[in-house]
Structure 1
């Protein structure tokens, strides 16, 4: 849960410049082809909005950082994914996004890039474990090949046109990715704030008397690790621990804390003779 220097990521992106530009042009070609396929007026308007974002080769949407993304989402001409009303078998109405959302995701080839591009890209950045829990790998294996698991800071359900924007991608394990879904969290993975790349805002500490209880009982189940996170001013953000159950994950690793206790005793001066 430590941020990555923005400049470092930019340097890595420069080494993949041709591939990233090719992803943009491929997406643009597929999106443009989709435009003439009998869309509703709302779907056509939204698709034209998305195409416009991919047309600017001097401002590649794949390279937008979160600041730029936020600026784009706050523009007066921003358009949300169209919705439609459907009725279930009990006659109850519900609202869903139109099929244009999934069609755009297909054009952008997010699923394909999980196997062909993201593994090498994020490996070069130095990310191998989930950026949320740091306890699981980000590679998901299946019968055919491995896929890189990534979460979207701005969900691909609400913002499908950002599904392959690189700074919107947070490498995550399948568990954390599923837990977060479209929930909002206050964690900026990429930053120019050097202090955030050196020290995390999220901390672990031993519960009061936890070490003493262990030394008396030698029972690792008495070890309690507490997770501390910042207090968020905005109520739109979910608590990290509520979303990812961080304390629960690390309670399964008490044997590592026990090992540290034992080593601290061995190397303590009072034990050296």
Structure 2
């Protein structure tokens, strides 16, 4: 729900430079092995197009930002995934899945992405912020990522790092190929300091709860920006954000109760105690509300966005 500075991402990528270079080379080796097999003319033409994108070690496709990716897609000589007609229906040929397998996307979800995105500071779904981005099975945990440009339409971008948006399984499946206007990695610093999305209590919600002490009277609204084009779907329409957070009334209730307990004099006593412990003021705020308190930290923990927004509204934090 907030953009991350591209400079920060670049610095993390530099720390992983040797691994990222190896991923490109491994993908290229596997693609060349695949190319040595028999293919239809259109499949082979597309495969060789993909190979050409991985050949330049000085222009690693894994490090392309979204602007560069858009430029490549808009080029005149860009090639789409081949299609075939089977049982009267048009579908993409099997070369798409073979390419994704060659790139090692599935293995990277458990071997590389958890550490890489953890270092960037992303642990929670960048869309709903209600769940972690880890999906566990019997063998191990895998990192769940959404592809800004779908791997079905653009299989060669399936491991390009700026095309990967960490998401929970629910949001990833719900979004599918829908278009949303959300830039996760940006050079625009203003977009990295304050989120364009906001949770707030509905009118009279606080008063109703304080009178009745019935959490069913707590209602939260989700506000999102006006998008430039009708081609983009709204967050709430795609990810059902308000529906998700209707189940979190107990979290909001706790903040309402805290706002009654932690009056100014009590907060000053607590601050004084924390000062003696030589703790960072931000840690104090975090302990008070039970989560992160700054927009730039939204991705670090689930429920941080709604917690900080309602806490601000109730005067628990600045």
**Candidates 93, 101, 108, aligned match of 2:103:** 108
Q: How far 1:184 sits from its partner (Å)? A: 1.1
Q: Does 1:97 align with 2:92?
A: yes
Partner of 2:52: 52
CA RMSD in angstroms, aligned pairs only:
1.5
Q: How many residues align?
A: 267
Partner of 1:31: 31
Any idea what the Cα deviations from partners look like across 1:16-63, whole Å, max 9, x if unmatched? 101000000110111111112111111111111100100111110000
Q: How far 1:270 sits from its partner (Å)? A: 11
**Candidates 178, 183, 206, aligned match of 2:178:** 183
Q: Report the secondary structure of 1:252's partner residue.
A: helix
Partner of 2:7: 7
Q: Does 1:85 align with 2:80?
A: no
1:196-215 equivalences in 2 (<5 Å) = 196-215=191-210
- Relative to structure 1, the CA distance from residue 35 to residue 221 in structure 2 (aligned partners, 3 Å threshold; closer, same or farther) is same
Partner of 1:171: 166
- Distance between the aligned counterparts of 2:94 and 2:144, measured in 1? 24
- Distance between the aligned counterparts of 1:161 and 1:264, measured in 2? 51
- Distance between the aligned counterparts of 2:110 and 2:259, measured in 1? 43
Indicate if the aligned counterparts of 1:83 and 1:95 stay in contact, CA closer than 8 A. Answer: yes
Partner of 2:189: 194
- Distance between the aligned counterparts of 2:145 and 2:264, measured in 1? 46
Q: Does 1:135 align with 2:130?
A: yes
Q: How far 1:121 sits from its partner (Å)? A: 0.6
Q: Does 1:252 align with 2:278?
A: no
- Distance between the aligned counterparts of 1:163 and 1:267, measured in 2? 48
More moved, 23-32 vs 203-212: 203-212
Q: Report the secondary structure of 2:150's partner residue.
A: coil
**Candidates 208, 229, 238, aligned match of 1:234:** 229
More moved, 254-263 vs 69-78: 254-263
Q: Does 1:267 align with 2:291?
A: no
Structure 2 unaligned spans of 5+? 268-318
Q: Report the secondary structure of 2:67's partner residue.
A: helix
Q: Report the secondary structure of 2:229's partner residue.
A: coil
Partner of 2:66: 66
Indicate if the aligned counterparts of 1:265 and 1:271 stay in contact, CA closer than 8 A. Answer: no
Q: Report the secondary structure of 1:253's partner residue.
A: helix
Give the TM-score normalised by structure 2.
0.82
Partner of 1:118: 113
Structure 1 unaligned spans of 5+? 88-92
Q: How far 1:215 sits from its partner (Å)? A: 1.5
- Distance between the aligned counterparts of 2:68 and 2:193, measured in 1? 24
Indicate if the aligned counterparts of 1:138 and 1:173 stay in contact, CA closer than 8 A. Answer: yes
Partner of 1:90: none
- Distance between the aligned counterparts of 1:70 and 1:85, measured in 2? 29
- Distance between the aligned counterparts of 1:271 and 1:167, measured in 2? 46
Any idea what the Cα deviations from partners look like across 1:124-159, whole Å, max 9, x if unmatched? 111111111111111111111111111100000000
Q: Report the secondary structure of 2:116's partner residue.
A: helix
- Distance between the aligned counterparts of 1:12 and 1:76, measured in 2? 33
